[in-house]
């Protein structure tokens, strides 16, 4: 959310950033569940294309999020925090999830440039 949200969303409310905080580390730093960088990108997509009422069509946002997930998975080989974290912390790995956040941001920015939401 921090990496792309301020760029892609014209009015990024600080509350949105606070809402994304528990997603880091696979929800509550459990190192389970979905990668926080992937979740944050999905939140940016929701901020751009998400619905505000139950009757709205949510497919544009869903389709873009599906594509984002596919591209993330292709690059990171997983979408779950634990396996990605194991790779990051392995001997010879990058040592920090900053590289994962950078990859997620790059993927999302390229996708947004391509689709122009």
Does the pTM of the predicted model rise above 0.95? no
* pLDDT reported for residue 8: 75
- Tens of pLDDT, residue by residue over 21-65, are 898 888 988 899 999 999 999 999 998 898 888 898 999 999 999
CA dist., res. 81 & res. 86, Å (int): 8
Provide the 8-state DSSP code for 34.
B
CA dist., res. 3 & res. 59, Å (int): 25
CA dist., res. 99 & res. 116, Å (int): 25
Residue among 100, 109, 14, 32 at smallest CA distance from 64: 109
Long-range contacts, 62-67 (Cβ 8 Å, 24+): 64/111, 64/115, 64/117, 67/111
């Amino acid at each position: 959310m921090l990496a792309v949200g301020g760029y892609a969303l014209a009015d990024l409310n600080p509350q949105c950033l606070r809402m994304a905080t528990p997603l880091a580390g696979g929800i509550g730093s459990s190192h389970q569940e979905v990668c926080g960088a992937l979740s944050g990108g999905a939140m940016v997509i929701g901020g751009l294309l998400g619905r505000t009422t139950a009757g709205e069509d949510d497919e544009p946002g869903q389709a873009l999020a599906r594509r984002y997930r596919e591209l993330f998975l292709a690059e990171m080989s997983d979408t779950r925090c634990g396996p990605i974290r194991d790779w990051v912390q392995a001997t010879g790995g990058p040592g920090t999830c900053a590289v994962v956040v950078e990859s997620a941001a790059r993927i999302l920015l390229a996708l947004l440039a391509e689709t122009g939401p």
